[in-house]
Amino acid sequence: MTCCYGVITSCQEWFREAFYQTTLDQFSAIIPVMSIINTIEKEQFKTDIVHFEVGDSICVHTRVIEGDKERIQKYSGIVIGRKGTGINANFTVRRVSFGEGVERVFPVHSPRIAKVEIEKRGSIRRSKLNYLRNRKGKAAVTVKEKAQEVA
We report the CATH number of the domain holding residue 98 as: 2.30.30.790
Kindly state whether residues 101 and 77 are assigned to the same domain: yes
Provide the number of structural domains found in the chain. Answer: 2
* Least confident range of 28-42, 65-79, 97-111: 28-42
In a domain, 119, yes or no: yes
Kindly state whether residues 66 and 87 are assigned to the same domain: yes
Kindly state whether residues 118 and 85 are assigned to the same domain: yes
Kindly state whether residues 76 and 26 are assigned to the same domain: no
Residue 23: pLDDT band with limits 50, 70, 90? low
pLDDT digits (tens, 9 = 90+) for 41-50: 888 888 888 9
CA 129 distance to own-chain centroid: 16
pLDDT digits (tens, 9 = 90+) for 69-103: 999 999 999 999 999 988 899 999 999 988 889 99
Kindly state whether residues 33 and 90 are assigned to the same domain: no
Domain, as residue range, for 17? 2-44
Distances (CA, A) of 119 to 18, 48, 76, 77, 146: 58, 18, 9, 9, 12
Kindly state whether residues 23 and 68 are assigned to the same domain: no
Kindly state whether residues 13 and 73 are assigned to the same domain: no
In a domain, 146, yes or no: no
Kindly state whether residues 74 and 37 are assigned to the same domain: no
For range 114-136, the mean pLDDT: 90
What pLDDT sits at residue 90? 95
In a domain, 50, yes or no: no
In the predicted structure, residue 1 carries a pLDDT above the cut 70 = no
Specify the DSSP element, H or E, that contains 61.
Answer: strand 57-66
- Please give the Cα distance from 58 to 45 (Å, whole number): 21
In a domain, 69, yes or no: yes
For the chain, percent of residues with pLDDT exceeding 70: 77
* Least confident range of 22-26, 102-106, 118-122: 22-26
Per the model's pLDDT, the better-predicted residue between 8 and 123 turns out to be 123
For range 102-116, the mean pLDDT: 94
Kindly state whether residues 71 and 113 are assigned to the same domain: yes
